[in-house]
Amino acid sequence: MKRVITPMTAFLVLFAACIVVWSWSRLSASAGGRGGTGVRDVKGLMDTARLLSPPVQPAGVTQEPESRPDLVDFLEGAQVQYESEAQRLTILGALEDVLALSVQDLKGRRYRDDQGTEGQWDLRTLVTRHLVPDSREKSPGFHFYSDLKSPEVMARIETMVEELRKHPAEDGLPTVFKVPGL
């Protein structure tokens, strides 16, 4: 993800650097150094900082996101795994909740764990326990709940709901299917 430095952040960094140089200059003068106000040092530091600092995005200009949500990458190529009809119905219910509820409501929801005990897992835990990514490096990401409502994720979840309805579990036998791509 590309970081955008706001004008205020850039100013504060430059200001802090100037204070450090000025303080160093004053200490040097009191210790018998060359002395002076350090204006030349501060100006040189500011010029260097301007050259080395990343570009600042002008106010009011929006930037297209550089990459898609981590959750899309997590779902791409993942396998849905469950061992019972109860687990399948829990996963199905949770994904239907994603399609119907707000992010705030989803954060408060609790689901059955893999042993069938009610109210044990939040949505993120349920997803990470029953959806296995095709690479160990993939994770649902830091912005899991907000990523859920991105159009790409919503489309994948709709497809997963359709597929879960087609794959009933045979109790005692693991059921595995790949998350369909778009």
- The model's pLDDT over 102-145, given as tens digits with 9 standing for 90+, comes to 999 999 999 999 899 999 999 999 999 999 999 989 999 889 99
Residues 80 and 137 in one domain: yes
Number of domains in the chain: 2
Residues 85 and 144 in one domain: yes
22-57 per-position pLDDT tens digit: 666 666 666 555 555 555 555 665 565 555 555 555
Residues 80 and 24 in one domain: no
Residues 23 and 77 in one domain: no
Q: Which domain holds residue 98?
A: 70-178
The whole-number pLDDT of residue 1 equals: 47
Residues 85 and 21 in one domain: no
Q: Range with the lowest mean pLDDT among 41-55, 56-70, 139-153, 168-182? A: 41-55
Whether the pLDDT of residue 14 is over 90: the answer is no
Residue type, 140: P
Please state the pTM of the whole predicted model: 0.61
**Average predicted confidence (pLDDT) for the chain:** 79
Phi, psi at 138, each rounded to 5°: -85, 140
Residues 169 and 89 in one domain: yes
The whole-number pLDDT of residue 69 equals: 82
Residues 174 and 97 in one domain: yes
**Complete DSSP assignment for 24-42:** HHHHHHHTTSS-S--HHHH
Residues 23 and 110 in one domain: no
Please tell me which residue, 85 or 171, carries the higher pLDDT value.
85
Q: Range with the lowest mean pLDDT among 56-60, 125-129, 147-151? A: 56-60
pLDDT band with cut points at 50, 70 and 90 for residue 96: very high
Q: Is 2 within the bounds of a domain?
A: no
Residues 76 and 162 in one domain: yes
Q: Where are the beta strands (DSSP E) in the chain?
A: 79-82, 131-132, 175-178
Residues 90 and 153 in one domain: yes
Alpha helices in 101-178 (DSSP H): 103-108, 123-130, 144-147, 151-166
Residues 82 and 159 in one domain: yes
DSSP-based three-state secondary structure for 135? coil
Residues 20 and 110 in one domain: no
DSSP-based three-state secondary structure for 153? helix
pLDDT band with cut points at 50, 70 and 90 for residue 77: confident
Q: Is 61 within the bounds of a domain?
A: no
